[in-house]
Structure 1
Amino acid sequence: MRISLELVPRDEAQLKAELDLIKTQFPAINTINIPDLTRFELRSWEASCLCKSIYESSIPHIRAMDFDCVEPLQFIERLDKHNITEVLVVTGDVPKNSEKVVYPTTCLDLIAKIKKDYPHIKVYSAIDPYRGSMDEEYEYVQKKLEAGADGFFTQPFFDLSLMEQYSDMVKGSEIFWGVSPVVSDKSQKYWETRNHVVFPADFQPTLEWNIDFARKALAFTKKTNSHIYFMPIKVDLQAYFDGIFSKVLV
C-alpha cells in the first residue's frame, strides 16, 4: 500500500524543508504528489525532481491545457533524467494571469498523447465524486481508461459509503483515495460551495472527526488493496498524522 502526501511547491527552500520534516516525522508516508499551481514559479515536474533526493516516488500533476499536443512534451525529458515514471493528468483551471498561453487540450487528449509517445510513463487521472452524477462520472472514467489512463487519484472523500460505491466503479484499476481534513466552519463552507461536497450527516469540522475518518479510510484502503493520499490544509500535521498512524499502522 502506498501512502502519499500532497505538497504545494511554493518554492525550493520551503519544499525541501517540508520534505525533510515529513520524512523524519512520518515514515509511513512513502510517496509525494505535487500539484501544479500557476501562481507559483516552481512547476510540478521541477518540484517532483527535487523530491527524488528524499523520496523514491514522486508524482507531478500535469495540467492538460498548458500543452499543445502537436508538440513534444519537454517535461518528460526532465522526468526521465530523474527516473520519475508517474504523472497525474488533470484538465487544470484557467490561470488568472491572462498572459499565460493555454491550449484547448483536454485531459483525454494529453493522456492519449503520453501513452502513445511515452509509453513508459504511468498516467493517473482524476475522479471527482461531486462534480456530477455517479453515472456521468462513470462515463468519464471509462473515457479516461479508453484514452490509456493506468489509474486514478480521487478528489477527497468524506463519506466511507461513497468510497465503497466508487470502489465498485473502478474495480481493477489502481487508485489513490483522497482524504483532506476540514476543521472549521469556514473550510466546510468552502468545500460545499467551491467543490459541491455533500458532507455526511455525522460530519463535524473537528480534528477528532477527521482523524477518525482518516483511520477508517486507511483501513478501507488496506482492505481493498488500494492506495491513499492526504491533502492536509490548515491543520496541525503532527497532531493529525500522529492521530492517524499511531492507531492504525501498528
Structure 2
Amino acid sequence: MRISLELVPRDSEGLKAELQLIKTEFPAINTINIPDLTRFDLRSWEASRLSKSYYRDCIPHIRAMDFDAGRPFDLIEYLDKHHISEVLIVTGDEPQNSTKQVYPTTCIDMVTKLKREHPHLKIYSAIDPYRTSIRKEYEYVQQKLDAGVDGFFSQPFFDLRLMELYADILEGTDIFWGVSPVVSETSKRYWEKRNHVVFPKNFEPTLDWNIAFSKEALAYTQETNSSLYFMPIKVDLQDYFNGIFGEVLVKNA
C-alpha cells in the first residue's frame, strides 16, 4: 500500500524541514507528491529532487500548459538524471505572472506525447468528482486511459459513499484517493465555492471529524488494495497524523 503526502514547495529549506519531520515521525508515509505552483520559485521537479534524499518515491505535478506539445519535452533529462520515474500531469491554471509563456497543451495532449516519446515514465492524471457530472467525469477518465494514463490521483473526498461509487467506475485502475482536512467554516465555504464540493450532512469542520473520516478512508484503501494521499492545509501535522496513525494499523508501512 502506498500512502503519499502532498507538500507545497515554498522554498528548499522549509521543504527539507517538513520532509525530515514526516520521515522521522510518520513512517507509514512512503511517497511524496508535489504540486507545481508558479507563485513559488521552486518548481515541482526541483522539489522532487530534494525529496529524493528522504523518499524513494516522489511524484512531481507537471503542468501541461507550460510545454509546447510540438517540441521535445526538455525536462526528461532532468527527470531521468534524478531517477524521477513517476509524474502527475495536470492541465494547469493560468499563471499569476502574465509574462510567463503558456501553450494550448491539454492534459490529454501531454499524456499522449509522453507515453509515445518516453514510455518508461509512469503517468498519473487527476480525477475530480465535483467539477461536473459523474457521467462526464467518467468519459474524461476514459479519454485519459485511451491516451495512456497509468493511474489517477483524485481531488480530495469527504464522503466514503462517493469514494465507493467512483471505485466501481474506476475498477482495475491504479488510484490514489485524496483526503484533505477542512477545519473551519471559512475553509468549508472556500471548498464549496472554488471546488464545488458537496459535503455530507454529518460533516463538521473540526479536526476530530476530519481525523475520523481520514481513518475511514485509510481503512477503505487497505481493504480495496488502493492507495491514499493526504493534502493537509492549515492544520498541525503532528495533531492530524497522530490522530490517524496512532490508532490505525497501517499494513506494509
TM-score (norm 2): 0.98
Q: Which amino acid aligns with 1:58?
A: C
Partner of residue 112, structure 2: 112
- The offset of 1:50, in angstroms, is 0.9
Instruction: Map residues 179-194 of structure 1 onto 2, 5 A cutoff.
Output: 179-194=179-194
- The offset of 1:88, in angstroms, is 0.2
Partner of residue 213, structure 1: 213
Partner of residue 10, structure 2: 10
Q: Deviations over 1:92-122 (max 9, x none)?
A: 0001111001000000000001100000000
Partner of residue 160, structure 1: 160
* Partner Cα distance (2:124, 2:64) in 1: 13
Q: Give unmatched runs, 5+ long, in structure 1.
A: none
* Partner Cα distance (2:27, 2:112) in 1: 35
Partner of residue 55, structure 1: 55
Q: Which amino acid aligns with 1:222?
A: Q
TM-score (norm 1): 0.99
- The offset of 1:134, in angstroms, is 0.1
* Partner Cα distance (1:245, 1:24) in 2: 14
* Partner Cα distance (1:89, 1:68) in 2: 14
Q: Secondary structure at the match of 1:132?
A: coil
* Partner Cα distance (1:123, 1:68) in 2: 18
- The offset of 1:230, in angstroms, is 0.1
Q: Secondary structure at the match of 1:238?
A: helix
Q: Secondary structure at the match of 2:246?
A: helix
Instruction: Map residues 33-48 of structure 1 onto 2, 5 A cutoff.
Output: 33-48=33-48
Q: Which amino acid aligns with 1:46?
A: E
Partner of residue 32, structure 1: 32
Range with bigger deviation, 129-138 or 64-73:
64-73
* Partner Cα distance (2:98, 2:83) in 1: 34
Instruction: Map residues 196-235 of structure 1 onto 2, 5 A cutoff.
Output: 196-235=196-235
* Partner Cα distance (1:88, 1:194) in 2: 21
Q: Secondary structure at the match of 1:248?
A: coil
- The offset of 1:83, in angstroms, is 1.1
- The offset of 1:76, in angstroms, is 1.5
Q: Secondary structure at the match of 2:155?
A: strand
- The offset of 1:71, in angstroms, is 1.3
* Partner Cα distance (2:225, 2:139) in 1: 24
Q: Deviations over 1:18-67 (max 9, x none)?
A: 11111001111000000000000111011101111110000000000000
* Moved segments of 4+, more than 2 Å: none
- State whether structure 2 residue 142 is matched by structure 1 residue 149: no
Q: Secondary structure at the match of 1:168?
A: helix
Range with bigger deviation, 185-194 or 69-78:
69-78
Q: How many residues align structurally?
A: 250
Partner of residue 136, structure 2: 136
* Partner Cα distance (2:127, 2:169) in 1: 11
Q: Secondary structure at the match of 2:49?
A: helix
Partner of residue 81, structure 1: 81
Q: Secondary structure at the match of 2:189?
A: helix
Partner of residue 65, structure 2: 65
| Percent of aligned pairs with the same amino acid | 70
Q: Give unmatched runs, 5+ long, in structure 2.
A: none
